[in-house]
Amino acid sequence: MTLTESLSCDVAIIGAGTAGLAAERAARKAGARTLLIDPEFRGTLCANTGCMPSKLLIAAAHSAHDSRRAPVFGIHPDKVHVDGAAVMRRVREERDRFVEFTCEGFDDLPLDTTVTGRARFTGPGVLELQDGRQIRARAIVIATGSIPMIPPPFRDLGPRILTNETIFELPDLPSNLAVVGGGPIGLELAQAMGRLGVPVTLFDTSDRLGKARGEAVHEALKKAVGRDVTLRLGCETEAGAAEGGIRLRWQGDQQGEAVFSHVLVATGRPPNLDGLDLDRAGLALDDHGTPVFDCGTMQCGDAPVFMAGDSSADRPLLHEASTEGAIAGTNAALFPNVAPGNRSPLFTLTFTDPPLASVGKEPDEGEITGCSDYSDQGRARVEARAEGVMLIHADRQGRLIGADLCCPGAEHLAHLLAWAVQSGATATQLLAMPFYHPTLEEGMKGALRDICRRSNQAEPDSRDIGLPPGA
């Protein structure tokens, strides 16, 4: 085959990350001939620069933090020493193992399914690679992921400007660190670095951190992060080179300037759509140049083109990328017989300590919110981490519709609440379930009882053990 010859398939998938792999599997399962196109096949964003390396850093930070707070239990370890080079080395070594596992999945694909190259549209249903080859497909899935956004003040300042794609390559921990952006990435890495002994200052133009819903939840998050990180909220920043680092000036609710050895820019990850020449695909684009699509079917208008994963800028979460890929791949294979897929309720987690979680929707007027205070919860006090709050939302009949929490164990409690919301459970039904004592799960009871009192439900007295408040 010469380089100018064409390839053809039923479904072409652009991008071999989580969404693209799910789309390819689903399309092939539906009987389609597939081509999976990627310039590198380097594994998923999660394994390379997202979920896994960040959690490795957070795990190290938890270890350091637990050692420092051990005296509250009467345990007095020797002075904690953080070997920054060893911390970062383990992050990379373990990350590379996860990447290797994801890359092994490419070996399981049918022969001639993968195409290495960068694709762009030359017309509806037609792609071209940089080597001149054309790919004609009956349907196309765009699953190109996202890229870090670096605003103009921070561009061209060299390697001391970090993103979540470069910070894990540091040979050692920074001398001090500025984090610009108080979203999930900024919060997780800022608190982790702070607990590893790095002086960290976090800046955000907003007064709100992590898209936290509910004032009580936001205050719990702000208080927790503020113990490990200096917060400069409601501030605009300017950046410039300085001797030995980057000079930041800020003004707004607070003003000042300082030199930092490194600056982590965590101001968002827009869709990675540059170079696709979407204007030639015959698609309607929004003001940001993203194809307009249906989040139920993932279809772009009535075209045989589908979006999936972070490239859609809808729900940039791994489990959503997998779901969207499966929906997009199936619909691409069965086009024009397109149908909505099953989508779970919103479920987000930020791995601060305590974690921040949101499930489902916030209550509308007339709907109900129950509250559980974890500042005196039994198991949390046993573990010397009694803080935070849980809000559970329900409709007028007491059926759960959502939750917001920042409290110990929130990453696990939020799963239970997400499952309850998706299954349509009521507060009464959950209170009828067993609650082992003493556990963090027992703390849910206060919010559930609030909902029962304020709705037309009765508490299941015969089965609710009725442990004392705070148990």
User: Domain with 423 in it: what CATH number?
Assistant: 3.30.390.30
Same domain, 176 and 286: no
Residue type, 315: R
Same domain, 20 and 140: yes
For all residues of the chain together, what is the average pLDDT? Answer: 94
Same domain, 274 and 261: no
Domain end, chosen from 241, 265, 289, is at 265
- What average pLDDT does the segment 168-196 reach? 98
CB atoms within 10 A of CB 48: 20
- What average pLDDT does the segment 449-454 reach? 95
- What average pLDDT does the segment 265-288 reach? 94
465 inside domain: no
138 inside domain: yes
Q: What is the pLDDT of residue 105?
A: 86
32 inside domain: yes
237 inside domain: yes
CB atoms within 10 A of CB 8: 12
Taking only the tens place, the pLDDT of each residue in 327-370 is 999 999 999 999 999 999 999 999 999 999 999 999 999 999 99
Q: Using DSSP, state whether 406 is helix, strand or coil.
A: strand
Taking only the tens place, the pLDDT of each residue in 85-140 is 999 999 999 999 999 989 988 988 999 999 999 999 999 999 999 999 999 999 99
CB proximity list for 332: less than 8 A, separation 6 or greater: 10, 11, 23, 27, 32, 139, 140, 141, 304, 306
Query: Does the pLDDT value for residue 8 go beyond 60?
Result: yes
Query: Does the pLDDT value for residue 448 go beyond 70?
Result: yes
Same domain, 132 and 280: yes
Same domain, 16 and 142: yes
Same domain, 130 and 274: yes
Taking only the tens place, the pLDDT of each residue in 372-409 is 999 999 999 999 999 999 999 999 999 999 999 999 99
Calculate what percentage of the chain has a pLDDT beyond 90.
Answer: 89
Same domain, 139 and 165: no
Same domain, 142 and 163: no
Q: What is the pLDDT of residue 4?
A: 57
CB atoms within 10 A of CB 303: 18
Same domain, 362 and 284: no
Retrieve residue 385's tokens: 């981490």
Query: Does the pLDDT value for residue 466 go beyond 60?
Result: no
User: Mind giving me the DSSP string for 98-152?
Assistant: HHHHHHHHHHTSPTT-EEES-EEEEETTEEEETTS-EEEEEEEEE---B-----G
Q: What is the pLDDT of residue 461?
A: 61
Q: Which of 305, 25, 8 lies closest to 137, judged by CA?
A: 8
Domain end, chosen from 216, 238, 265, is at 265
Cα–Cα distance, 35 to 138 (Å, whole number): 11
Q: The domain that contains 302 carries what CATH number?
A: 3.50.50.60
248 inside domain: yes
Residue-number span of the structural domain to which 354 is assigned: 347-454
- What average pLDDT does the segment 154-161 reach? 95
463 inside domain: no
Q: How far is CA 417 from CA 106, 262, 323, 444, in A?
A: 35, 39, 20, 9
- What average pLDDT does the segment 166-178 reach? 98
**Which stretch of DSSP H or E encloses residue 350?**
strand 347-350
What is the count of structural domains for the chain? 3
pTM, rounded to two decimals: 0.93
Same domain, 443 and 395: yes
Instruction: Determine which of 13-17, 251-255, 265-269, 374-378 has the lowest per-residue pLDDT on average.
Output: 251-255
- To the nearest 10°, the Cα dihedral for 216, 219, 221, 223? -140
- What average pLDDT does the segment 28-56 reach? 93
Query: Does the pLDDT value for residue 469 go beyond 90?
Result: no
Evaluate whether 284 touches 292 at the Cβ level (below 8 Å): yes
464 inside domain: no
The residue behind tokens 């383990």 is 90
Query: Does the pLDDT value for residue 3 go beyond 90?
Result: no
Same domain, 354 and 250: no
111 inside domain: no
Same domain, 357 and 427: yes
